[in-house]
Chain A
Amino acid sequence: RDEEKGSDFVQTLVEVMRANPGGDFIELLTEVNRRVCELDVLGPDSVERRKACLEIRSSLRRRLCLQ
């Protein structure tokens, strides 16, 4: 986590959801995953770049639009 901003996971999720509140939730989470995967993470104990890939597990039977 960024101590001043929070985690990429939550902050990107919030950013994507606020920009597309009526969108299909699975599609929005896929977009969150794409953005987070594109980031390079450099932790305080690491000199090497790292990646974070999120995971979506769904048994939804219908489209979910939260607006």
Chain B
Amino acid sequence: VEPRRPESDSRPSAQYDLSGTRAALLLAVIQDRLGAEHDVAALVDLCQALGFKVILRTDPTAQAFREELVQFREKLDAHKGPVSCALLALMAHGGPQGQLLGVDGQEVQSEMLVQELNCCQALRGRPKVFLLQACRGGNRDPGVGPRALPWYRRWLRAPPGIPTQADVLQVHVDAPGSTGQADILIFYSAAEGCVAY
């Protein structure tokens, strides 16, 4: 039996075809997040330079986070012609369980927003990129070395509520439909449980 040959990176199929429309949605809480407006401006410029059609909404409530995502998905599904890539930037205060805080202080789960775009028919087999700029807890990483030892000892005795890696893996295993996730890239601005600077 001839062994199956691995795909070479040089083959066209090894790379996403991005010849269709690229769409980006930026949802950013700026209020009480000093300096965030500079991040928003830089991201908008970058997305436009990369050929994305950009929709920007600042200071959304938790409800608006959800509604904007639904509208974005519906818009892509109704789009005439192929959609090749979607980028979603979420910028807000966040919590240890994946919460994002709207400008009204209410919470929305970032995982739910990811799932909303994962259900987009126009993006089947297309890359979906998420940039999450939010805290993922209150821990402040001291780095490595002797000064970090007390921090890591506290980390090992972390109270319930801060999920361990094993907890997270279990959630993913148990989540209905989790095996259907593909073509998703999430870039977090902090390690799990930690503050985003």
Contact = CB atoms under 8 A, between A and B. Distances in A.
A62 B184 CA distance: 11
Interface in B130-182: 131, 133, 140-143, 147, 181-182
Interface string B35-66: 11111001101100111000000000000000
Interface string B11-45: 00111101000000000000001111111001101
A5 B35 CA distance: 6
Contacts of B51: 66
A61 B38 CA distance: 33
A29 B38 CA distance: 20
Interface residues on B, range: 35 or more
A59 B181 contact: yes
A51 to B, nearest CB: 4
Contacts of B46: 13-14, 17-18
A38 B194 CA distance: 16
Nearest to A6: B38
B15 A60 contact: no
Contacts of B195: 50, 52
Given A55-B192, A64-B16, A6 B35 contact: yes
Given A18-B49, A46-B140, A55-B190, A1 B15 contact: no
Contacts of A60: 16, 127, 182-185
A26 to B, nearest CB: 7
A11 B42 contact: yes
A55 B163 CA distance: 16
B43 A53 contact: no
Contact of B196 (A7, A29, A62): A7
Contacts of A29: 185, 187
Given A8-B197, A21-B49, A29-B185, 16 more contacts: A2-B38, A5-B35, A6-B37, A6-B38, A10-B43, A10-B133, A10-B189, A13-B131, A40-B143, A52-B189, A54-B187, A58-B185, A59-B181, A64-B15, A64-B16, A66-B50
8 contacts: A1-B33, A9-B133, A10-B42, A14-B43, A14-B46, A56-B185, A60-B182, A66-B50
Interface of A: 1-11, 13-14, 17-18, 21, 25-26, 29, 32, 40-41, 43, 46, 48-67
